[in-house]
Amino acid sequence: MLRALVLLPLFAVAATAGEFNKVLKIGDAAPAWTDLPGTDGKKHSLADLKDKAAVVVVFTCNSCPFAVEYEDRIVALAKAAGEKVAVVAINVNTIKEDALPEMTKRAEKKKFPFAYLFDESQAIAKKFGANYTPEFFVLDRDRKIAYMGALDDTSKAADVKVRYVEDALAAVLAGKPVAKGETLARGCKIRFNRAKE
């Protein structure tokens, strides 16, 4: 009996999270961000996107070579997604090369067709359970998590065979369930700040 009571909290935790994401599971309400500064000089909130049929959130940064390698693919995704979908990139790293002024330079250089936001508090990444750059989340019209994980099946663009985010978006826009709702994200670990003692 005691053993069962000890194991119960473990099962309770497992039941509230995904296979790879230890915070969220498919179907959970997406955490909302408010007033995050963007490289466009404006403040951004999830509520601003209420007219969009879907939202793609990608946690990324300037300093990770994997994230940089994926930039052109994210740009292509944003352009292909059209007006019904918003793509939002969020950076939470606080080192100098990932600070907002450097993000702004990067966004201008690459001509990002999407919002690139900075959360110095790192709270939004923690609420999403994000651990890598890049890491993707597809939110449906009700702003529930429809997909989370990697953009596609390989880091090498020329070898991509399965485009997880594109497939998830197509399903969401068609009002159908997403066939593969969660995959393992790959890239650099997000540089979470150590808690001050």
- Tell me the CATH number at 116: 3.40.30.10
Instruction: Write down the pLDDT at residue 17.
Output: 85
**Residue 77 in domain:** yes
**Residue 80 in domain:** yes
Instruction: Write down the pLDDT at residue 194.
Output: 84
DSSP for 97-152 reads GGSHHHHHHHHHHHT-SSEEEE-TT-HHHHHHT--EESEEEEE-TT-BEEEEE-SS
Closest to 97 measured CA to CA, from 124, 61, 128: 61
Q: How many domains does the chain have?
A: 1
**Residue 196 in domain:** no
Which segments in the chain show pLDDT lower than 50?
A: 1-14, 197
Tokens of 122: 């790192």
Tokens of 167: 């497939």
Instruction: Write down the pLDDT at residue 13.
Output: 42
CB-hemisphere CA count at 13 Å for 48? 12
**Residue 194 in domain:** no
**Residue 94 in domain:** yes
Domain range enclosing 35: 2-189
Instruction: Write down the pLDDT at residue 72.
Output: 96
Instruction: Write down the pLDDT at residue 4.
Output: 45
Instruction: Write down the pLDDT at residue 196.
Output: 58
Q: How many residues does the chain have?
A: 197
**Residue 197 in domain:** no
